[in-house]
Structure 1
Amino acid sequence: MADLVSDHLAALKPSVESGFFVFGGASLDEPVKEGEGPKINGSVMVAVAESKEEVLDKLKADVYYTSGVWDVEKLQIFPFKSAIRSAL
């Protein structure tokens, strides 16, 4: 799995640098507790794109998609308009 994570992050780098993907990471069942690993239940990503299809095309090329890490039957893409935000 460590190799998949490395491949996934390396492949995403150009899309992050171009501004296509703004942020992403694992969604969790609960906050991570000291001494325990995260209880991952999915992934969340924010993309800047013209269409759902453009996002889906990027996701289909990802190793998490092609290797079955992501449950593609549950994949959801929502249009989103930010009302507030702060710098990270």
Structure 2
Amino acid sequence: MEGEHLANIPNGFANGVTNCGAIFTDETKTKFAGSSYNIVANSRDEVIEFLKSDPYYKAGIWSLDDVLIYPYGCAGRTAKDIIKP
């Protein structure tokens, strides 16, 4: 399932994602807590529709009841290569 999810990342960048990645609860990055996306969208509904296209949502791993969506203003960022599955 993870491979399919990671393979979907380039599609996200073509559909408004500006960055994404895993969230961990520890500094050694061994305790997974969730996922993070920054998405250019005009509404909450657009974000929800994007999330519904992800393999983790389709498999029931992600629950839309747990999604936190906030407006975000980026002040700057640096480039990083996309991880290939």
In 1: Cα distance, 2:51 partner to 2:34 partner: 14
Name the TM-score, length of structure 2 as normaliser.
0.79
- Alignment of 1:85 with 2:76, yes or no, is yes
Q: Secondary structure at the match of 2:21?
A: strand
Cα–Cα, structure 1 residues 67 and 6, in superposed 2: closer, same or farther, change >3 Å? same
Aligned residue identity for 1:57 = E
- Alignment of 1:12 with 2:5, yes or no, is no
Question: Which residues of structure 1 form unaligned runs of 5+?
Answer: none
Question: Which residues of structure 2 form unaligned runs of 5+?
Answer: 80-85
Q: Offset of 1:19 from its aligned partner?
A: 5.7
Tell me the percent identity. Answer: 28
Q: Offset of 1:68 from its aligned partner?
A: 2.1
Name the TM-score, length of structure 1 as normaliser.
0.76
Higher helix share goes to which structure?
Answer: 1
Aligned residue identity for 2:43 = S
